[in-house]
Amino acid sequence: MKVRQFFCALAAAAIVSSPSIAYLSGIEDVVVHKPVKNVILLIPDGMSTDGVTLARWYRGGKALHLDAMASGLVRTYSADAAIADSAPAGTAMATGHKSHTGYVGVLPDANTMPGLPALAPEDRKRPVASILEAAKLAGKATGLIATSEIMHATPADFSAHDPSRKNYDALSEQQVYQNIDVVLGAGSKFFEAANRGDREDLLAVIKSRYQYVTRPADMRQVSSGKLWGMFSETALAYDMDRDPAAEPSLAEMTQKAIDLLSQHPDGFFLMVEGSKIDWAAHANDAVGIISDVLAFDDAVGAALRFAAADGNTLVIAATDHGNSGITIGNAATTNNYDKLPLASFIAPLQKAKLTGEGLEKVLNADRSNVVEVMAEYFGITDLSAAEIAAIKQAKPGSMNYAVGPMIGKRANIGFTTGGHTGGDVTLYVHAPANLTQLTGTVENSDIAKYMAKAIQVSLAETTQRLFVRARQALEAKGAKVAFDATDAKNPVIVAVKGGKEVRLPVNKNIAYVNGSPVTLDGVTVVSGGVAYVPQSAIELFD
């Protein structure tokens, strides 16, 4: 009740009565006439502008769902670098704070980029609340979707906190105990006890809390309640390579999440990531980029259809960063770029029936059928000896790195890097009538602030509620505090006062009070050697 009263008071104080402004400069100019009920944030990881243009031309120039939403640009740099890694870029979009390479849902060690405020020493690596956590604390339903493993950097940024994006055990455990209503994606092997350093059987926990599905047909049968779906042991396939009977499309997952979450009377927050646009860009695989940009755009379409019918839903799409420097035109077109017909760029790409990743499934064991396969599935009949050798020698899981550039070269597609890029990216916003559309060139951290403003929650107050320094707060209550690391992979904070013992397992939302479980409103987190617990854990000693 206290939390709900706080958010209601905040909403009343924050509504602005001034008239709309014709030209907006960013988050400061946003006017909220009435709190928005639902927010859908869609992130096409690593999607550069030329990749969008290429996808549009690939399907004949037909407008994308994204096109009508374009409203500005997003600056993507992180706290300490001009070119961002997905972890800090997603953290900025989720929490309103820029962070350091590899950091998930926590502050950096320092803000070194121009214009950023100095960071207090005590705030280094401090967990900060995400918009998903703020929405959940305010009583909304929440959802998380990705085509990568669900504990990968971007989905983790909205649902977990750790200074290492590689700490899959901690990130996935926090996600399971975050009490998210709908989770759809992949990565089931990372939840199995045998594959975890902590030997936690998280699949068993999921099955005890959710309707757990592993096939699209089973997902479609769920009509209400909480749902967790994982459709592959690792990441899902590129949409072009996808078996519809085994894996749902991103649009199908988005629609199912909307169907379930929209049943909640207080609204919802949903984050959807088209994860493998980024992976294709790393491989300079134009076909993979097109495949998953179009699949992502279909998911945007599902979100927009719901928003149009609902009338009180904010839809935002923005990538966390660019990748590959993809260009329509390359060094070979320097002197004839304006004379080449569209087919020079598109026809070679349209011959592809698979991505480079999908190619591995149709090559035989000794890869002696390279020439035949490339002719049948990619329309390439002029392979050089070096290209044939590159395909034969490609390591498992990296075939798109071998094949992608071959197709790109024939389609006059340029790439400057196999890594991320630091340019501004396009901001796409569909705002309901009661909310000013965010426009102009904004910081990636402004996206979180805009969403928070729209649904009238405070990220700062949520952080204060969910991430209290455990030792200081518990000792202030008169409790003696110890850290039980008997099982080093499953540490527990122990607080004792009088006849009351409270045990707080790290990465869970559970407290054991004299052995009896109590559910907390957030997870216990250790970051930078400091333990943080929700205020509800401290209140157990009231």
Phi, psi (deg, nearest 5) at residue 253: -65, -40
CATH for 467-541, among 3.40.50.1980, 3.90.1010.10, 3.40.50.10490, 3.30.457.10? 3.30.457.10
What is the phi-psi region of residue 79: left when phi exceeds 0, alpha when psi lies from -120 to 50, beta otherwise?
alpha
Strand 500-505 with 492-497, pairing = antiparallel
Chain-centre distance of CA 91, in angstroms? Answer: 9
As annotated, the residues of the chain forming the CATH 1.10.60 domain(s) are 345-412
pLDDT tens digits, 217-258: 999 999 999 999 999 999 999 999 999 999 999 999 999 999
Quote the pLDDT of residue 24: 41
What is the C-alpha radius of gyration for the chain, rounded to an integer number of angstroms?
A: 24
**Sequence-ordered list of residues with C-beta below 8 angstroms from that of 400, at least 6 positions apart, any chain:** 279, 280, 283, 285, 288, 355, 356, 357, 359
Q: Give the CATH fold of the 2-19+27-326+418-465 domain.
A: Alkaline Phosphatase, subunit A (3.40.720)
Task: Give yes or no for a contact between 386 and 413, defined as CB atoms under 8 angstroms apart.
Answer: no
- Residue-wise over 340-368: b if at least 16 C-beta within 10 A, else e? eeeebbbebbbbbebbbbbbbeebeeeee
Phi, psi (deg, nearest 5) at residue 495: -125, 130
Query: Among residues of the chain, what percentage have pLDDT more than 90?
Result: 95
Structure tokens at 262: 């929209």
Strand 468-469 with 530-533, pairing = antiparallel
Quote the pLDDT of residue 274: 98
pLDDT tens digits, 306-327: 999 999 999 999 999 999 999 9
pLDDT tens digits, 265-277: 999 999 999 999 9
Task: Give yes or no for a contact between 237 and 279, defined as CB atoms under 8 angstroms apart.
Answer: no
| Mean residue pLDDT across the chain | 95
- The total of other beta-carbon atoms located within 10 Å of residue 527's CB is 22
CA distance 431 to 299: 17
- 345-412 is a CATH 1.10.60 domain: yes
Chain-centre distance of CA 164, in angstroms? Answer: 16
Quote the pLDDT of residue 101: 97
Distances (CA, A) of 488 to 75, 77, 196, 269, 495: 40, 36, 13, 35, 18
Residue with tokens 């009508």: 68
DSSP assigned state of 66: T
CA distance 51 to 141: 33
Q: Tell me what the mean pLDDT of segment 332-338 comes to.
A: 98
Residue with tokens 């990743």: 357
pLDDT for residue 117 is more than 90: yes
CA distance 298 to 62: 13
User: Amino acid identity, residue 48?
Assistant: S
pLDDT for residue 4 is more than 80: no
Please give the order of strands across the beta sheet that includes 530-533: 468-469, 530-533, 525-527
pLDDT band at 29 (very low <50, low <70, confident <90, very high): confident
CA distance 454 to 40: 12
| H helices, E strands: number in the chain | 20, 22
pLDDT for residue 140 is more than 60: yes
pLDDT band at 28 (very low <50, low <70, confident <90, very high): confident
Find, among 108, 113, 124, the residue nearest to 77 by Cα. 113
Q: Tell me whether residue 152 is annotated as binding.
A: yes
pLDDT for residue 11 is more than 70: no
| Cα atoms in the 13 Å half-sphere on the side-chain side of 535 | 9
Q: Tell me what the mean pLDDT of segment 341-370 comes to.
A: 96
Q: Which residue spans within 432-506 are E strands per DSSP?
A: 440-443, 468-469, 480-484, 492-497, 500-505
Q: Tell me whether residue 65 is annotated as binding.
A: no
Chain-centre distance of CA 55, in angstroms? Answer: 22
pLDDT for residue 106 is more than 70: yes
CA distance 113 to 265: 42
As annotated, the residues of the chain forming the CATH 3.40.720.10 domain(s) are 2-19+27-326+418-465
pLDDT tens digits, 73-98: 999 999 999 999 999 999 999 999 99
pLDDT tens digits, 46-60: 999 999 999 999 999
- The H or E element containing residue 273 is strand 268-273
- The H or E element containing residue 525 is strand 525-527
Residues annotated as catalytic are 86
Q: Tell me what the mean pLDDT of segment 383-403 comes to.
A: 96
Phi, psi (deg, nearest 5) at residue 97: -130, 130
Q: Tell me whether residue 33 is annotated as binding.
A: no
Task: Give yes or no for a contact between 413 and 405, defined as CB atoms under 8 angstroms apart.
Answer: no
User: Amino acid identity, residue 441?
Assistant: T
As annotated, the residues of the chain forming the CATH 3.30.457.10 domain(s) are 467-541
DSSP assigned state of 24: -
What is the phi-psi region of residue 269: left when phi exceeds 0, alpha when psi lies from -120 to 50, beta otherwise?
beta
Distances (CA, A) of 233 to 148, 149, 188, 195, 218: 10, 8, 5, 11, 17
Quote the pLDDT of residue 25: 46
CA distance 489 to 158: 24
pLDDT tens digits, 149-171: 999 999 999 999 999 999 999 99
pLDDT for residue 186 is more than 80: yes
pLDDT band at 27 (very low <50, low <70, confident <90, very high): confident
Q: Tell me whether residue 420 is annotated as binding.
A: yes
Task: Give yes or no for a contact between 318 and 43, defined as CB atoms under 8 angstroms apart.
Answer: yes
Distances (CA, A) of 231 to 193, 235, 253, 483: 18, 9, 11, 37
Is residue 509 classed as helix, strand or coil in its secondary structure?
Answer: coil
Quote the pLDDT of residue 487: 95
Find, among 86, 159, 7, 43, the residue nearest to 420 by Cα. 86
Q: Tell me whether residue 321 is annotated as binding.
A: yes
CA distance 113 to 111: 6
CA distance 265 to 142: 12
Q: What is the pTM of this model?
A: 0.95
Quote the pLDDT of residue 19: 29
